[in-house]
Amino acid sequence: MAKRKMSLNELSEKVDLTLSNLSILKTGKAKAIRFSTLEAICKVLNCQPGDILEFVE
């Protein structure tokens, strides 16, 4: 988001996701993510799922 110079509000509008849901994603509280949401975020940010997902032990 920082690289694309995009605010949370802008992303929420483009991905069609509420700010509270985006915040859940950002803070790592989300228990699951739909493929459609992942696809939309990747499309808007022009990146791969691996760029926004990270495995942490």
| Contact set with other proteins (CB under 8 A) | 17, 21-22, 24-25, 29-34, 37
CB nearer other proteins, residue 6 or residue 30: 30
Q: How far are the Cα atoms of 2, 3, 5, 11 from residue 47, in angstroms, in the given order? A: 13, 11, 14, 14
> What minimum distance in Å lies between the beta carbon of 29 and other proteins?
6
CB nearer other proteins, residue 5 or residue 34: 34
CB nearer other proteins, residue 20 or residue 48: 20
Phi, then psi, of 29 in degrees rounded to 5: -85, -15
Give, as one character, the DSSP assignment of residue 31.
S
